[in-house]
Chains A and B, each alone.
Chain A
């Protein structure tokens, strides 16, 4: 009996992947769970295992192909049918598991997602409108009814579709006319990497949907700098950078100003404040920008944070990050401190509502009013971009002030978890 291997759902938001390697050829014997394909999607690569033991009869994809969820990948003929095998969920061994649930949805009814229906159970809509919503693939939960008492009507579905069309029209920049640059000189074409393409789409959407305001400020980190130097002298094994201190300080300020640690719900009616502090750290890699997330930073020491930072930055460069290590952030820090420049306007990483941009510190003379003297201080410029729907200007300024003040105090990081 020939079993078809179909690309399972790889997780939310991941619709397709590139085939980076086909590890079997026609005629090969494979065991159930043996890797047959390696895929590369967005920011993770994953191995697709055989679902049954048998002989590879046909391979329908080759290296470089883009495959989509539900696509037939290859056919494996099993010698005898194993009864014990039935109803065994299709397992995809993902080096980087995208989400917990990987469901096989073979054949043409694969696109049907039962979850969509379950959510219609409480929707205030007639059976006919519920049917139409299935036909149009609209989740009724996202629609606001305009009928009597908030009933969802067919007109509401039509209006929703019109709005979507309008938004996608407005959301996409007009394609620029094709220009042949080579007529003015020599050119070289570089294909965008997958990460660059995705980052580009996300940044554009964030920039266009979130009303950004960016607040600039400076922090006196002279004593922090000394403190760090002392620690690094004492403990030669682990050299601490500034970043763990900035993360800890940000977590403290977020705790005091919970709005900055929140998300707007999709209908923009509710603010969801998170009582956990997961810090996204923007990491530049040869393939593009990625933002791994360090969880529960408030509960970790600067040394623990430092170790984790080194680990995720390395794995980000090696493309070894798992998708779940890049989700769940509540706030992001983008540090250009090691590079240079003074102040920039970071773009918020949705669904978060604020992002901190750190620039290169420098020694400057600061006038002290009390002593009427100029002293040399080590000053770090930083920027805070925030979602103006959630945070008003006063709060933005309060945040940067608190952050700067906290950094200028004599640090107590080592003892505090």
Chain B
């Protein structure tokens, strides 16, 4: 006999979108339960994504910086790597944040249930827990069940030496030769972690460029760096086959314009994208509809085709980013609580947390050209920034795209250390409808990397004194 429970709002998934939704709804006075199949709250982002990867990327960055000190007159001995200690360091960070979320849930009287939730109808959930099943009748439900790493159709994926982003972060060992399949954000970030820990990393990407959605002028400085750190970067190449060999080695067959080639690797990381976690939800018991890519259809209020059920985050589509999920989670919680909220964000920033970082928000030049958007551009090369030179970031660049007519900021792209932090000014500029003059006349502290935002706007305006820009016609 199942236990029964009635709630105002049931939230499925305790990732950054789900817990934000649950907490916001609780703060608006609703009785909320937060369901997750994982005992530790925080979802992929906290447990097996953003946070652990950033803990590890920080290590690679500091190692890299320490090494670069040799050019500045400071030398260290070769680093010694204690993998167990690194793992513990990473786990400590994750556990600290897990505990933080659990405490906040308790403080808000949000009940958390560990179990797998499946719909029975448009108003009921069946949650399978270790202690048995619970039937939850809800007034509103918010689906935030996230996504899982995709595999390559027809290619071996279930093998101890084949890693996903999740298992790669477990950091079981440092493979001698690692192949990363997929030159996107996740592949490059993890590739860099393993490279700095000593692996010989190769990347194979199906498309003709790394991180295809980003402007390639921003990717190029990163690509130059990775070329030095990695064994190889092969573009426009397709993985045909992965075969298990003895000693858990893997033979990978790839094909590009030059023909097929075979290589042996110790491990292979598959980072070819993520797919929405819809299967376990048993959506066929509801009237919820999916789009052709398998994401849940939602409106600007995050409502699914069933108006008392909301969906947010990765499960409703790209970009699959934690900060998008959090924002949508709050919108869903507010609408479900009767607050006239809506998903009204004009831009969602994207960041690659590699060294150097790459960040962009709003319109990219690629999109502008594709959609024939009339734009103008202000660019500031970091080679002209004192601070950038001092920290060895001459390769960096900040560019701002302006509306050709109104000069309002349409998009910002940055490559260089802390790009992900600087990009927030661009997001604010877009939301506020700031134009080139607004950004240029805002006093930026000197010397900082963030100052390059103001400089790019000034370069566009022709008021810059840190560069010589020939007069506009």
Contacts and interface: CB of A to CB of B under 8 A. Distances in A.
Contacts of A125: 433
Interface string B302-346: 010101100000000000000000000000000100111110111
Contacts of A118: 300
B433 A114 contact: no
A134 B339 CA distance: 9
Contacts of A120: 344
A107 B308 contact: yes
Given A87-B289, A114-B301, A124-B433, A107 B307 contact: yes
B287 interface: yes
Contacts of A1: 121
A76 to B, nearest CB: 15
B433 A126 contact: yes
A114 B344 contact: no
A135 to B, nearest CB: 5
Nearest to A116: B342
A109 B433 contact: no
A402 to B, nearest CB: 43
Contacts of B345: 127
Nearest to A105: B307
A181 to B, nearest CB: 46
Chain B interface mostly: loop
B287 to A, nearest CB: 4
B432 interface: yes
Question: What's the interface size class on B, roughly?
Answer: 20 to 34
A130 B121 CA distance: 35
A107 B139 CA distance: 11
A54 B184 CA distance: 52
Question: What's the interface size class on A, roughly?
Answer: 20 to 34
Contacts of B289: 86-87
Nearest to A121: B346
B433 A151 contact: yes
B431 interface: yes
A134 B305 contact: no
A289 interface: no
A271 B42 CA distance: 57
A124 B429 CA distance: 12
Interface string A334-360: 000000000000000000000000000
B119 to A, nearest CB: 13
A17 B346 CA distance: 39
A108 interface: yes
Contacts of A109: 301, 303, 307, 335, 338
Contacts of A114: 299-301
B431 A126 contact: yes
Nearest to A136: B340
A112 interface: yes
A114 B435 CA distance: 28
B342 A134 contact: yes
Interface string B344-361: 111000000000000000
Interface in B257-301: 284, 287, 289, 299-301
Given A87-B287, A109-B335, A112-B335, A149 B341 contact: no
B435 to A, nearest CB: 7
Interface string A122-138: 00111100110011010
Given A86-B289, A149-B435, 11 more contacts: A83-B284, A86-B287, A87-B305, A107-B308, A109-B335, A109-B338, A112-B342, A117-B342, A117-B344, A127-B345, A137-B340
Interface of A: 1, 83, 86-87, 105-110, 112, 114, 117-118, 120-121, 124-127, 130-131, 134-135, 137, 149, 151
| 3 interchain residue pairs of minimum CB distance | A86-B287, A134-B340, A124-B433
Interface of B: 121, 284, 287, 289, 299-301, 303, 305, 307-308, 335, 338-342, 344-346, 431-433, 435
8 contacts: A1-B121, A108-B338, A117-B300, A118-B300, A126-B431, A126-B432, A127-B344, A131-B341
